[in-house]
Chains A and B, each alone.
Chain A
Amino acid sequence: MTDTDPNSGQAPVDLPGPEEPTGPQTLRTDKDAKDGLNKCARCGATDISLNPATGKLRCGFCRFEWDNVIMNEAFGLDKGIGDLRGVVMGSGSADIVPSTDVVLTFKCSACGAEVVIDTDHSTQARCHWCRNVLSMNQQIPNGAVPDMVLPFRLTKEDAVKRIADFVGRRKFYAHPRFRAEFNPENVMGIYLPYMVVDVNAHANFRGQGEHQTRSYTVKVGDNQERRYDADLYDVTRDFDLHVNDLTVESSSERLSRTSSATNNIINSIMPFDVENAVAYDSNYLAGFTSERRDTNLDELTPMVLAQAQDIARYQALPSLSFYDRGVRWDHEQVTVAGQRWVSAYLPVWLYSYHQVKGNRSQLHYVAVNARTGETMGSVPINQARLVAASAVAQVVGTVLAVIIFLAGG
């Protein structure tokens, strides 16, 4: 249990007390998973992919379609947050062992050839000899196979249209080279790695709040100035907080605040409807690429707890409506009793543009949430045109300001 000075900028790190489980409890999420040939139950083909129209897996030969189990239903991930104690984690969220291979070799059980899967970008590969598809579904400690996956719902055509519309509304001040090279058809479907976290916490806030009682103007010199009267109260709020599906990125590259990539764009298209995520199956990745998780629970915990504290602060707001001038919390205490971590691949349509400026470069993204369609992007700017237009605005503004000041005497 930790008290935090709200002005210190430091996140509270509340570790489970001694009466709670000493180590993480693991939910085994790849119990029935198997590596190698994953065959259609009806015809035995291995050419299986997602049908975005139905959200189901479809056999490329006999068109048979089937669903994977929804993780919330199979593991009760949306239930019992108030009963969580200690750390519960999916087996696909286990710590990454640095010595674990990233490029793995599988023996094709159809023809005996050796097939290589580069888990940095996929968990599937096609055998060059017999054309069967080999899948990796069992979890090994390299972060490549998560606990669950949320299938793409938006088609590529839909994503292309959304990206073209987004950029189309931002053409006038766009960099001329970007305008010439922009081709939304180059959008890529990527499963990005995230951690989905449930938190059972207790929040206690103490501070002071002000309620406005009167607003009026007073004469100060030649000017009228506004003044306010207010009542000051000591305020406390105490409650249990159940946070459901707090979602954080788990790729160190996406978490990076570097100026060389507009990572905030990808961050901004959250949230996803993770309650519809299904048990992991590599066939959902067919036709898409993936990015491997490369961070561990310990590295993400301070950020998750800081975000849980933010959520607690915002959940207290409806009870503070009387304090229309605001509340200053002097003491914030958020004690975490239990956490549940599940790793997931979530679907993003991503358009990237690499802008080179002298010896510096920047990666601009236009990203589409492949479930909700939320679109956000960064468009490189034609600085010369924007500065010229701003100068014109300045001239016009200065003339108007002079007129206003002269008219005002």
Chain B
Amino acid sequence: MLDIAQVLLTTSEVLAADGGDDDAGGLGLLFLLAGPVFYGIIFMRYRNSDKRHKHESETQAEVVDLTGDDQFVQSRKGLSSSAMQGANHRAVKGKVH
């Protein structure tokens, strides 16, 4: 029971820190999903099925003669997403597991 309280408290703190006017609705929705969220968190903590060697960042590598050419294209207004659509600069395709 202590774990359940901790999970709900932690997630509510995360949402509260996020700011914005939809906090109450988001928090309410999260509480409605408390069961599956709790199950997922505990499952991952015990089974660690998402863990793998992060070869992309944990391998020594050196960049030599870096050049770049960046050209302004246009300004975009009123975008609803906080991240660029289709961004793949952190994609990882060589996962073993």
Contact = CB atoms under 8 A, between A and B. Distances in A.
Contacts of B58: 270-271
B73 A232 contact: yes
A379 to B, nearest CB: 5
Nearest to A78: B60
A313 B56 contact: yes
B76 A401 contact: no
A61 to B, nearest CB: 40
Interface string B49-79: 1011101111111111111111111111111
A267 B96 contact: yes
B32 interface: yes
A320 B72 contact: no
B71 A233 contact: yes
B66 A237 contact: yes
A306 interface: yes
B79 A227 contact: yes
A303 B8 contact: no
A17 interface: no
A370 to B, nearest CB: 16
A11 B93 contact: yes
A245 B70 contact: no
Contacts of B94: 11, 303-310
B66 to A, nearest CB: 4
Interface string B73-97: 1111111111111111111111011
B3 A376 contact: no
A390 B64 CA distance: 52
Contacts, number: 274
A327 B91 CA distance: 11
A381 B66 contact: no
Contacts of A376: 48, 51
A248 B52 CA distance: 12
Nearest to B51: A268
B88 A7 contact: yes
B97 A234 contact: no
A329 interface: yes
A182 interface: no
Interface stretch (A28-36, A185-193, A208-216): A208-216
A387 B55 CA distance: 35
Interface residues of A, number: 101
Interface string A224-243: 11111111111111111111
Contacts of A363: none
Interface in B2-57: 3-4, 7-8, 20-22, 24-25, 27-39, 42-43, 45-49, 51-53, 55-57
Contacts of A230: 75-76, 79, 84
A392 B63 CA distance: 52
Contacts of B92: 310
Contact of B93 (A173, A213, A238, A310): A310
Given A228-B81, A326-B87, A208 B49 contact: no
A9 B59 contact: no
A231 B90 contact: no
A389 B3 contact: yes
B87 A328 contact: yes
A327 B85 CA distance: 9
Interface of A: 6-7, 9, 11, 81-82, 170, 172-174, 208-210, 213, 217-218, 223-249, 255, 257, 262-265, 267-271, 303-317, 319-320, 322-323, 325-329, 376-381, 386-387, 389-394, 396-398, 400-401, 404-405, 407-408
28 contacts: A170-B46, A208-B73, A213-B75, A228-B78, A231-B74, A234-B71, A239-B65, A243-B60, A244-B61, A244-B62, A270-B53, A271-B53, A304-B94, A305-B94, A319-B68, A325-B87, A327-B87, A381-B43, A381-B47, A390-B35, A390-B38, A396-B4, A397-B31, A397-B32, A397-B33, A398-B32, A401-B28, A405-B28
Interface of B: 1, 3-4, 7-8, 20-22, 24-25, 27-39, 42-43, 45-49, 51-53, 55-94, 96-97
